[in-house]
Amino acid sequence: MTYMTVFAAGSEHSLRYCSEATFGATPPTPNMIDLRHTGTGLILSKDTFQSAELRADRQISDFRHGNKRSQGDVNIELSFAEYDSFIEAGLGGTWQSATLASATDIKCAKTANRIYTTTTTFTSLFEAGDVIYASGFTKTDGINNQIYVISSVLATSLSLKTVPNAIATTETSVKAVKLTRQPSVKAGVEKRSFTIEREFGDIDKYGRFTGCMVNTFSLSLKPNAIVTGTFNFVGKTAAYAGTALDSSPTSSQTGSPLDAFTGKLYENDVEVGLITGIDLTLDNTANPNFVVGSPFASNVSLGRSNLTGTVTAYFQNMDMLNKFVNETESSLEVYLGEGTHGSDSYRIFIPRIKYGSADNTANDEAPIEMRMDFQALLDSTLLTNIIITKIT
């Protein structure tokens, strides 16, 4: 029987990764983790040089290869917990683990929109910007058991933002209440690298890309669509082999991709229903560092944490346009999934932005959309330009 020639196809392509303790060095016995993706352009890239020799026959006498690096995109559909390692690395922060305050005298006040106690010291557990989940309130069938965002912290009192939820009713009797801080990550200066392996299953070949650091991280939210994103990596080098680094990699997550219409969106703490799209890009300006005597990068340096984006919205009134006209600062808060009710989802909070443009061009009879580009800035209280929270 004659078989057709086998060649690599995307239908049998897979990705897996592991963290590196040392830049560019795959652990001796790596525990690889399968990675869900919709496409990738991760490749070995080289600088090249053309000889400048002058010849009577006008020909080019030589062509050489120079410095090497691994680089390229990994395209995704955002799903819960699948990309947390890359989100952490892209922000340069560290996921803060959940903390718990549990006491029998935790109470809440609707008028002041706060939670308070007489025995628990909140300052050692929470800080401004944290997302907490309250459980154990019982009045009116536990209506106060919600996700809340802390605006300020005192030793025995938590002041809360009014979005996405506010205290619905005052409870002053003693309760067995728990306040669980949800894990979050801020922008920081931590550097993390990965080994990423591409499997070409139909031809039994494996591309190994080492020293991969997140150069850019982008997300795109559109109506009636899955949230898509891209991680762009810059790394040390790459090689190909006939065997996998780990014959039994850890399985990827199995949750459904998140969409852009289930959650909620707030612009300057006001829920917005007219926004037709949000695009975010965090650019670390990753740059491979080369030295004489080696074709591989000795390290990858990171530049500033530059978070930019674009908001598109139907042009209904002057509220958002005036923020550009008057150079008024604002904020963006996005809940992806049913996060405001405590299910597996994400909160993306950009506490301080300025709009740099406002294009409301009319091209036809369709509703006019306003496109507004923005720059995220350091928030002096939260000490970051972004906070991403896992609501579990």
Residue at a domain's end among 181, 215, 234: 181
- Regarding whether 371 and 326 lie in a shared domain, the answer is yes
Reduce the secondary structure of 205-250 to three states and give it as a string: EEEEEEEEEEEEEEEEECCCCECEEEEEEECCEEEEECCCCCCCCE
- Regarding whether 195 and 147 lie in a shared domain, the answer is no
Is 61 contained in some domain? Answer: no
- In whole angstroms, give the CA distance from residue 351 to residue 184: 14
Is 103 contained in some domain? Answer: yes
- In whole angstroms, give the CA distance from residue 215 to residue 284: 5
- Regarding whether 113 and 86 lie in a shared domain, the answer is no
- Regarding whether 29 and 169 lie in a shared domain, the answer is no
22: DSSP letter: B
- Regarding whether 161 and 203 lie in a shared domain, the answer is no
Is 7 contained in some domain? Answer: no
Number of domains in the chain: 2
User: For residues 2 and 17, which has the higher predicted lDDT (pLDDT)?
Assistant: 17
* Reduced DSSP (H G I as helix, E B as strand, rest coil) percent helix, strand, coil of the chain, to 5: 5, 45, 45
Is 244 contained in some domain? Answer: yes
Please report which helix (H) or strand (E) contains residue 317, including its range.
none
Residue at a domain's end among 146, 181, 216: 181
Is 227 contained in some domain? Answer: yes
Q: What is the pLDDT of residues 92-146, one digit of tens each?
A: 999 998 999 998 899 999 999 999 998 888 999 999 999 999 999 998 888 999 9
Query: Tell me, what CATH number does 135's domain have?
Result: 2.40.30
| 188, pLDDT greater than 80 | yes
Residue at a domain's end among 166, 181, 196: 181
- Regarding whether 163 and 254 lie in a shared domain, the answer is no
Is 266 contained in some domain? Answer: yes
- Regarding whether 132 and 26 lie in a shared domain, the answer is no
| 273, pLDDT greater than 60 | yes
Lowest mean pLDDT among 42-51, 290-299, 335-344: 335-344
- Angle formed at CA 136 by CA 130 and CA 139, multiple of 5 degrees: 115
- Regarding whether 256 and 233 lie in a shared domain, the answer is yes
Residue count of the chain, please give it.
392
Is 2 contained in some domain? Answer: no
pLDDT in the model for residue 85:
98
- Regarding whether 334 and 201 lie in a shared domain, the answer is yes
324: DSSP letter: H
- Regarding whether 247 and 373 lie in a shared domain, the answer is yes
Burial 301-313 (b: 16+ CB within 10 A, else e): ebeebebbbbbbb
Q: What is the pLDDT of residues 310-344, one digit of tens each?
A: 999 888 888 888 999 999 999 999 999 876 665 78
- Regarding whether 176 and 197 lie in a shared domain, the answer is no
Q: Which domain holds residue 38?
A: 13-43+68-94+187-391
- In whole angstroms, give the CA distance from residue 144 to residue 158: 14
Is 209 contained in some domain? Answer: yes
pLDDT in the model for residue 337:
83
- Regarding whether 320 and 368 lie in a shared domain, the answer is yes
